[in-house]
Amino acid sequence: MLLTLAWGSLFFPGLFALCNWTLRRSRPEWTNSDCLMISTRLVSSVQAVLATGSGIVIIRSCSDVVNGRHWLAREYVWFLIPYMIYDSYAMYLSEWYRTRDQNHGHSTTFRNFLSQNRLMITHHAVILFVLVPVAQLKQQHTLLYKVNGILTLATFFSCRILLFPFMYWSYGQQEGLSLLQVPFNIPFFCNVANAFLIAPQIYWFCLLCRKAARLFDTPQAKKDG
């Protein structure tokens, strides 16, 4: 755990510094802002590749999609913490170099940075202060874990399942049709394609519901069962 955290703390800033140094030497015509921006994106791309690769390894190694556990899933969370902190600072550094000719102080630049990147900052903050505590082992009994589970279910259902009837309803509103009339007034292959798309979403949602039900099972209920 601590070794992974330390490795991530060295890896991401070190890679960023190496990319920035290489770009400045190989592209002297580029500004500092350009080099920092490209370096930030290169490091983000490396992190995306590592996260994708870790996900593939975890998926291929776990036969039980509900109860399966893999050491990489736990360790990568600790590897992710330094990246989120580094990336927030790197984005601010890029913003400061980009706007320093405007003679803004750090306080003004920081406020503008928060205003223009509020979604990304929120994303990083949620991962650091919500995902990381929730992702650790033996946290299933905590209120935060259960609240996160409920929010996950609600978000998944709204964005991945209700999306399909909403599309049909929107088309019906446009064409003056009821929701039940829409499937009979669009090309057949559209219904087939949507069926193929929504089927795995329903399956995954059922798995999430099963997982959530176990969170709220009391020890006595499990014993009686």
Pairwise CA distance, residues 108 & 76, whole Å: 35
pLDDT of residue 222: 46
Please state, rounded to an integer, the average pLDDT across all residues of the chain: 80
Of 75-79, 143-147, 157-161, least confident by mean pLDDT is 143-147
Predicted local distance difference test score (pLDDT) of residue 67: 61
Q: Which of 215, 206, 191 is nearest to 157 (CA)?
A: 206
Q: Is it the case that residue 15 has pLDDT exceeding 90?
A: yes
Q: Check pLDDT > 70 for residue 72.
A: yes
- Residue 68, pLDDT above cutoff 70: no
Average pLDDT estimate for 150-174: 86
For the cut 50, the answer to whether the pLDDT of residue 57 exceeds it is: yes
Give dist(CA 171, CA 169) in Å, integer: 5
Closest of 60, 54, 46, 44 to residue 75, by C-alpha: 54
- pLDDT at residue 17, as a whole number: 93
User: What pTM value is reported for the model?
Assistant: 0.56
Tokens of 110: 């920081």
- Over residues 100-154, the pLDDT tens digits come to 767 667 777 778 877 777 777 777 777 766 666 666 645 566 676 677 778 878 8
What Rg value do the Cα atoms of the chain yield, rounded? 23
Q: Note the pLDDT tens digit of each residue in 80-97.
A: 888 888 988 888 888 788
What does the block give as tokens for 217? Answer: 């099972």
Give 177-220 pLDDT, tens digit per residue.
998 999 999 989 989 999 988 888 898 888 888 877 776 665 54
Say how many C-beta atoms besides its own lie within 10 A of residue 93's C-beta: 19
pLDDT of res. 64: 59
